[in-house]
Amino acid sequence: MGKNIDVELRNIKKTFQSNVVVQNFNLQVEQGEFISFLGPSGCGKTTTLNMIAGFLEPDEGDLFIKGQRMNGVPPYKRELGMVFQTYSLFPHMTVAENVAYGLKLRKVGKAEAQERVKRVLDLVKLPNVSDRYPKQLSGGQRQRIAIARALVIEPSLLLLDEPLSNLDAKLREELRDELKRLHQEIGVTTIFVTHDQEEALSLSDRIVVLNHGFVEQIGKPLEIYNRPASEFVHTFIGKTNRLSGEVVEQDGSRLLIKTDTGLLIRAGRQERSFVQREKVKVFIRPEKIKIAPAVTGQGGENQASGEIVMTSFLGAFSECEIHAGKLSLSAKVQMADSSINLEPGRAVSCSWDEADVLVLPTERDGR
């Protein structure tokens, strides 16, 4: 639809000494998009962000911002706002001086600078702290000031490197909602780095899942969650039950799989095609497993009877571990339908829908 592309990475590669830390990185970020880089520690998130910002140069590949090739262009000429992974406010400057710093560099006049500082401090909901020093602020307030400082120059692109990771759980969530509101309000194109799947799922228009410097998948949160491109993506994005087995029957794109423990699993329509007798891995998320009091004389598809061995009450739901013969299953039960007794020792039967079964081929393990 002819959308403007704000950032483009073409075949970006980065090596430190002989370590390849980013490779084959291809991405187009549309104007106004909120993109997350999601992946475990060391997968190359900060390195990639630093190449976009200009603090690092790629070894290979091309980087474009608003259609202009940026390789070799210094950071201050890229008109970006950036919030770094570690606190980065100047300790000897007040909040107002910190926020105004980028404006001073750009020789914005005093009156206008004051006005703009006031506006961004309102935006991050901290209008009354301009005379304080960073050490007189809480961790969450400091991160908001860091965000204000990045926004005050009205950047064409906002880069955020784990801005919430040093905060406690409740504050993280609050600031996450705030970021979402901010983005809806000002619509600045944003690249957000995180290793927290919930943050990525809740904030992003699209997520780039990274693993050891490789892009595993780029997609909308729902696509990443429901149609993962690989086992890595599926397991990184949430808890899951993993079983292995063999395809014993095919019916269009539906499959019947017999697991190594003898369970029969019917899997609904899959993206990939499989052949008869193919070894596969089967995944079912804990929240998709339904638990009922044990019934006798069963053994059909998508069922397993067993015994609860452990239950953890977590407020809105409970997590149960169930042993069914040699198989161990984890289930997440909403406490709203807690008519069932979940005490350890209880005999239960587990079941799930074929639509909630994900099948992936076995042989891509080597990567």
CB 123 within 8 A of CB 115: no
- Which of ligand ATP, Mg ion, none sits in contact with 250, Cβ below 5 to 8 A by type? none
- Which of Mg ion, ligand ATP, none sits in contact with 324, Cβ below 5 to 8 A by type? none
Residue closer to ligand ATP (CB basis): 47 or 98: 47
3-class state of residue 151 by DSSP: helix
Which residue has tokens 């289930």?
331
- Nearest distance from C-beta of residue 162 to Mg ion, angstroms: 6
Residue closer to ligand ATP (CB basis): 194 or 311: 194
Residue closer to ligand ATP (CB basis): 42 or 127: 42
Residue closer to ligand ATP (CB basis): 18 or 296: 18
- Which of Mg ion, ligand ATP, none sits in contact with 226, Cβ below 5 to 8 A by type? none
C-alpha dist (Å) from residue 138 to 97, 143, 168: 18, 9, 11
Residue closer to ligand ATP (CB basis): 42 or 344: 42
d(Cα 140, Cα 175) in Å, to the nearest integer? Answer: 8
Residue closer to ligand ATP (CB basis): 39 or 155: 39
Residue type, 136: Q
HSE value, Cβ hemisphere, 13 Å, CA-based, for 339: 4
- Nearest distance from C-beta of residue 45 to ligand ATP, angstroms: 3
d(Cα 272, Cα 358) in Å, to the nearest integer? Answer: 10
- Which of ligand ATP, Mg ion, none sits in contact with 108, Cβ below 5 to 8 A by type? none
CB 47 within 8 A of CB 240: no
Rg (CA), the chain: 25
CB 209 within 8 A of CB 221: no
Residue closer to ligand ATP (CB basis): 37 or 274: 37
Which residue has tokens 């891509």?
364
x/- mask, Mg ion, residues 41-80, rule CB under 5 A, reads -----x----------------------------------
- Which of ligand ATP, Mg ion, none sits in contact with 44, Cβ below 5 to 8 A by type? ligand ATP
Can you name the residues that pair with 10 across neighbouring β-strands? 62
Contacting residues toward ligand ATP, per CB under 6 A: 16, 21, 39, 41-47, 85, 195
- Nearest distance from C-beta of residue 45 to Mg ion, angstroms: 5
In the complex, residue closest to Mg ion by CB: 46
Torsion, Cα of 296, 300, 302, 305 (10° steps): 20
- Nearest distance from C-beta of residue 41 to ligand ATP, angstroms: 3
204, with CB counted inside 10 A (0-12, 13-18, 19+), is buried
Residue closer to ligand ATP (CB basis): 41 or 68: 41
- Which of ligand ATP, Mg ion, none sits in contact with 47, Cβ below 5 to 8 A by type? ligand ATP
d(Cα 195, Cα 116) in Å, to the nearest integer? Answer: 32
- Which of Mg ion, ligand ATP, none sits in contact with 23, Cβ below 5 to 8 A by type? none
Residue closer to Mg ion (CB basis): 46 or 204: 46
- Which of ligand ATP, Mg ion, none sits in contact with 128, Cβ below 5 to 8 A by type? none
- Nearest distance from C-beta of residue 224 to ligand ATP, angstroms: 17
- Nearest distance from C-beta of residue 121 to Mg ion, angstroms: 27
- Which of ligand ATP, Mg ion, none sits in contact with 21, Cβ below 5 to 8 A by type? ligand ATP
- Nearest distance from C-beta of residue 88 to Mg ion, angstroms: 13
Is there binding between residue 130 and Mg ion (CB under 5 A)?
Answer: no
Tell me how crowded residue 346 is: count the other CB atoms within 10 A of its CB: 18
- Nearest distance from C-beta of residue 38 to Mg ion, angstroms: 12
Strands (E), the chain: 5-16, 19-30, 34-38, 60-65, 68-69, 80-83, 157-161, 190-194, 206-211, 214-219, 241-251, 254-259, 264-267, 279-284, 290-293, 303-313, 317-324, 327-334, 347-351, 358-361
Instruction: Give every CB contact of residue 129 below 8 A, 6+ residues apart in sequence.
Output: 95, 121, 136, 137, 141, 145
Name the site residues for Mg ion (rule: CB under 5 A). 46
